[in-house]
Structure formats: structure tokens, C-alpha cells
Amino acid sequence: MIKISSFFTIFLFFFLSSFGQQPIIQNIASRNNLSLNGKWNYIIDPYENGFYDYRREAFDQSKSKVGGYYDDKRSVDKSELIEYNFDKSPTLKVPADWNSQEERLSLYEGTVWYRKLFMAKPLTGKRYVIYFAAANYESHVYLNGKKLGMHKGGFTPFQFEVTDLLKAGENSLVVKVDNTRKKDEVPTINTDWWNYGGITRDVFLAELPDTYIHDYKVQLAKGNANFIDGFVQLNGITKSQKVTINIPEIALSFSVNTDEKGYADIKQAVKKLTYWSPENPKLYQVKISSETDEVNDKIGFRTIETKGKDILLNGKSVFLRGISLHDENPLIPGRPRSEGDLRMLLTWAKELNCNFVRLAHYPHNEEMVRLADEMGLLVWAEVPVYWTIAWENPDTYNNAQNQLSDLITRDKNRASVIIWSVGNETPLSDPRNKFMGNLVDRARSLDNTRLVSAALELHRDGNKVIVDDVLGEKLDLASFNEYAGWYWGGTPKEITKYYFDIKYQKPVVITEFGGDALAGFHADADTKFSEEYQQALYESQFKILSSIDGLRGMTPWILVDFRSPRRPHPIYQEFWNRKGLISDTGKKKKAFFTLSDYYNKLSKSFN
């Protein structure tokens, strides 16, 4: 019998294949790739002149219409009118946002056209795929003047097969990237982070065999530390093949046979494993080979579950000593551009004595999650269902669901990821409960081995802080954001009177608390924006939070100051949210040390 998760994989595969854009290829970065990173020529197009004609009809909707910039025309005839020229246009670096590279683009929201010329030598019998790890927000992609497809969502990968379009010699790849905020999109128009535009993550051309390993899951079964439960999916003509899974370090090698759809379950008893944990982030080389393809991965094995108010990692109760972070390098400032940028962020989290990070509020780079695997940090992974989403629009729902499915598909083999979060601080209503409830069901149907949660809100009655959102009933954790001492409740010393009334018998993980501090601004602990205020706030928070029965973790807001259009104060903010424990120049504030001491003690006392 086909399991539900396998059914969805197959369904998504055929559904998406028919629209040009393919479902995500697992671990594509490890394949034979030609990097398309580097300098791309660009044209700023605020009126979308390269996409629509003067009657506002899209050029690419009609074969007879010419004029789209994706034609990448060069003048051959001196009488010809061409009003753009990529060859003579300036360049932007990829991967990187455009805001941080060019003064004119720092506040820009709209369309920018990117063009990359590259040489290829396609081989017969091979297949070629162009892969974008992320571009914000809506991308239309063209190769040699032909449209490959469109993708929405600023933080998830997308790809197109180009085997039939790739030319021997020079190829022109053109991408229209539009970061206009829109009410019905995911996220919606209002967020407390910078709307960085551009091709923000890696781009490459991957070469694959005719029939290749498209997807696989090699993970421990739910609640069973001695059994691998997963699947493998081939794509190509020779669908029925023998596939061997080999983990040399434990001398394990076994085979499965794929069916006429290229699919096989992987079910295998396994012994002698060293389990992955933050203290010992053990990863195994895993080799998956079919008759026509081979892919190598580094995979950790661990179990995660809840029992009453405990979170059990490999069967042992764990306290999640966490911190929230955005996908931003404050020193640019902008989206991270390299593994080094990502490593810097996670190294800071380690220096805080964390064993957990909340990668807020959208999928971070795949490389970040792989680093968390390697460095030993548990991960909360989230989709940008943030604040006031258009709950009643079915397209908005489908978009959110696609982003969630892509995140789960991409990161399902990462031991570090223990929680899928379906959103943050969403206002209560029936349509919202339905929307988010459906996302929870979807997450569980795609992956029954991890916890599912969301960052909820609370309300107050006198000194009582109440958490009773109905969505909480469907989640594995009681997780909520709590801003006592900043947005409400008075000064840090006044908040110790608050106590919590949490309706669910579940482990409690506080997803946010915190307050702004401008690094280097010193005053007394009642003065907002001072380092002393932030520090006192953390100390009082530890007092009120420690009285919660079932407190099993926290991810204070936030590791590093980050840019936000919502924060204009001319002295303290200058369009930075200053709730970071580290400043925009990398300086650790007082509260950084307060939290690292607290976590250090917890790491010794909590078993």
C-alpha cells in the first residue's frame, strides 16, 4: 500500500511536471554543476516595459508579440529600434540582494531584469536543469528567448529542465525578478523585515543522467531508533531499477527495486548507529546508487518526539536553548552571500551556548540547515505565513502550502530540523484557523517524524497571561511570542508580577521575547533602548518564564540587529530593529552575556 507521504510525492511530481517547473531535486548541489553565480547584467524596469506592451499585454502571452527583454536582442541592422541593451548594462552580483549593491536600488521595490551569458557543451544522453536556490519574490525565467516558467516565493528553490533548449556554445539566461509586495501573497505587504529583492541564493546548471535519482528520504522511522523509513524516486525513462543504499561506516548496504513510476519504499532495520545530537553531531556518508545514477549525502540519525510536557531527543528530555535569527548578514547589510556569512551567524549562536536556532520567518538557505547539521544546532524551520495573510483567498493558501511543501521536501534529510512551523503571530479568526490548520495537516502528511508548531499570540487578564489559541490544540508544542517589558507590562522590574495560564498539556517553547538596545548606549535599567534596559528585561524574563510548568525551550528575539522599514527612530533605530543581542557592527551587547550565562547554567542543570 502506498503511504500518504509517498502518494503526495508522486502526485506533486506529476502535477508540477506538467507546468514546466519541476518539483525539487534532492541534494542537487552535490551533482555535476556549472555555477552561474557571479556578475549578471541588469536593467531596472519600474514600469515593466520589458514584459508588457503599451496596451499592458504581456509579450510572452502571444507568439506574435516581440519586444520582451528576454529576447536579449543585439542590434544587427542600424535601422532597427531596440530600447535596451544587456551587454552595455551594469552588473549585479549573484547570489546577493540588489538593495545592498547599488544606491539606486536600496529602497527599490519592483522589477529588475537579470541576464547571464554562459557557455555550455551539452552531451547526448544527459539531462540539464537550471536551478535557483532562491529569488525574491516573483521570477519569470527565459533561456535563449524561450520561457521556462514562473515561480512565486522569495525563499524556496525552483528549477526547470532545459535539456531541449540548451545550446552548444553561448546561452542567454534572462530572469525577471519582481519584489513588489502584494496583499494576497505570502508574505503579505506588512512584515518587520527588509524586503530584499533579487537573486539572493546560488544559481547553477546541473547535469544529470537520462534517468536520475530525483528525490529520496533516508531517516529514522517515527519513534523507532532502529529502523530507517524512507523512499527513493527516480525520474526518466528507465523507471524500474535496482537502487542500493550504502552507509559504509556501519557496513550497511541494501537494495530496493523501484516500480513503474520510479518509486520504492526504503524500509530497513539498522543497528550500531551513533545518534546525531547537538553534543555529538554525527553525520554518516550515505551513498544512493541506481543503475544509472549515484548521489552522496551526509545524513544524521536521531529521533524527536514529545511526551507529556517533555521534548525527547533520542529518547532523552532536552531543553531547547535557542535564539531566533533572520537570514541577514548585518555587516553587509543584506542577505548572506556565502557559506562564511552563514557560519558567522551560527558561530555566534554557539557562543551564546545555544543548542537550537529558530530560522525565522521563512525558509533560510539550504546551506544554513546543512551547517546546523554539521555544527550541532537543532532547527525550527518556518514559512512566511506572517501576521495578516489573506486567509480567504484559495490562491494564497496554495501558495503557502507550496512553500511549506518545498521546505519539507528540501530539508527532510536534515537531522538538525526538528520542528516545522506553519506561521507566526497570526490574528485569530475562523478562516485563519482553517488555513493554518490545513497547513498543519499538510506538514504532517509530508513528514510524520518531526514536530509541527507555530508562534502563537497571547492575551491578558490582569496579571494573568493567557495562551488558549485553538490552533494550539493541533500543534505539538505550546509556542508563543511574549513581549512583557517591551510592548506591554511596564519596565523590566515591573514585569515580574505576570504569570502564565497555558491551556495545553504540552512542552512550552517561548518563540520570542526581547527589547531594543542601541549598542553603546548606556543608561539606567528603566531607560528604553539602553543596553541596561535590555539586560534587565532578559533577567526579569528568566524569572517569569522559569515559573512555567513544562518550559522546554526559548528562542529570544533576536541574535543580531536587522534592517526593518518599520523602525524609523532617528537616534536609536535608523531603520534597524535593535532587538539583537549583537549589533549591526558585530558588537555583543550586555544581554548577550546575560543569556549566554543563563544557557550555560541550564546546560549543566537540565537533564
Query: Residues interacting with ligand GCB, by CB under 6 A?
Result: 192, 361, 424-425, 481, 512, 557, 577, 579
Q: Which is nearer to ligand GCB, 423 or 507 (CB)?
A: 423
Separation between Cα atoms, residue 115 and residue 92, nearest integer Å: 10
In angstroms, give the least distance from the CB of 539 to ligand GCB.
19
Pick from 354, 452, 474: nearest CA to 407: 452
In angstroms, give the least distance from the CB of 489 to ligand GCB.
14
Decide: helix, strand or coil at residue 237: coil
Separation between Cα atoms, residue 529 and residue 569, nearest integer Å: 11
In angstroms, give the least distance from the CB of 514 to ligand GCB.
7
Q: Which is nearer to ligand GCB, 206 or 359 (CB)?
A: 359
Burial letters 513-548, b for 16+ CB under 10 A, else e: bbbbbbbebeeebeebbbbbbbbbbbbbbbebbeeb
Reduce the secondary structure of 249-266 to three states and give it as a string: HHCEEEEEECCCCCEEEE
Distances (CA, A) of 438 to 4, 401, 443, 444, 445: 15, 9, 9, 10, 10
Q: Which is nearer to ligand GCB, 95 or 384 (CB)?
A: 384
At 567, phi and psi to the nearest 5? -125, 75
In angstroms, give the least distance from the CB of 324 to ligand GCB.
8
Q: Which is nearer to ligand GCB, 188 or 405 (CB)?
A: 188
Distances (CA, A) of 579 to 245, 535, 568: 46, 11, 14
- Bridge partners (DSSP) listed for residue 151: 139
In angstroms, give the least distance from the CB of 136 to ligand GCB.
17
In angstroms, give the least distance from the CB of 530 to ligand GCB.
17
In angstroms, give the least distance from the CB of 334 to ligand GCB.
18
Q: Which is nearer to ligand GCB, 157 or 556 (CB)?
A: 556
In angstroms, give the least distance from the CB of 511 to ligand GCB.
8
Phi-psi label, residue 553: left if phi above 0, alpha if psi -120 to 50, beta otherwise = left
Q: Which is nearer to ligand GCB, 399 or 479 (CB)?
A: 479
Give strand ranges (E) for 503-591: 508-512, 551-554, 562-563, 576-577
Q: Which is nearer to ligand GCB, 128 or 513 (CB)?
A: 513
What the block records as the C-alpha cell of 2 is: 502506498
- For the chain, the C-alpha Rg in angstroms (whole number) is 25
Separation between Cα atoms, residue 451 and residue 444, nearest integer Å: 8
Residue reference for cell 532502529: 226
Q: Which is nearer to ligand GCB, 282 or 326 (CB)?
A: 326
In angstroms, give the least distance from the CB of 540 to ligand GCB.
18
Phi-psi label, residue 489: left if phi above 0, alpha if psi -120 to 50, beta otherwise = left
In angstroms, give the least distance from the CB of 49 to ligand GCB.
35
Give strand ranges (E) for 309-402: 310-313, 316-317, 320-325, 356-359, 378-382
In angstroms, give the least distance from the CB of 257 to ligand GCB.
48
In angstroms, give the least distance from the CB of 323 to ligand GCB.
14
In angstroms, give the least distance from the CB of 578 to ligand GCB.
9
Q: Which is nearer to ligand GCB, 72 or 382 (CB)?
A: 382
Burial of 108 (0-12, 13-18, 19+ CB in 10 A): middle
What the block records as the C-alpha cell of 239 is: 523507471
Q: Which is nearer to ligand GCB, 258 or 481 (CB)?
A: 481
User: How many residues make up the chain in this entry?
Assistant: 607
Q: Which is nearer to ligand GCB, 277 or 329 (CB)?
A: 329
Helix/strand/coil percentages in the chain, nearest 5:
20, 35, 45
Q: How is the beta sheet containing 316-317 ordered, strand by strand?
A: 304-307, 310-313, 316-317
Residue number with the shortest CB distance to ligand GCB?
192
Pick from 542, 538, 546, 539: nearest CA to 508: 546
Q: Which is nearer to ligand GCB, 364 or 579 (CB)?
A: 579
Separation between Cα atoms, residue 309 and residue 99, nearest integer Å: 44
- DSSP secondary structure, 276-311, as one string: P-SSS---EEEEEE-SS-EEEEEE----EEEETTEE
Q: Which is nearer to ligand GCB, 335 or 361 (CB)?
A: 361
In angstroms, give the least distance from the CB of 285 to ligand GCB.
38
Q: Which is nearer to ligand GCB, 230 or 556 (CB)?
A: 556
Decide: helix, strand or coil at residue 113: strand
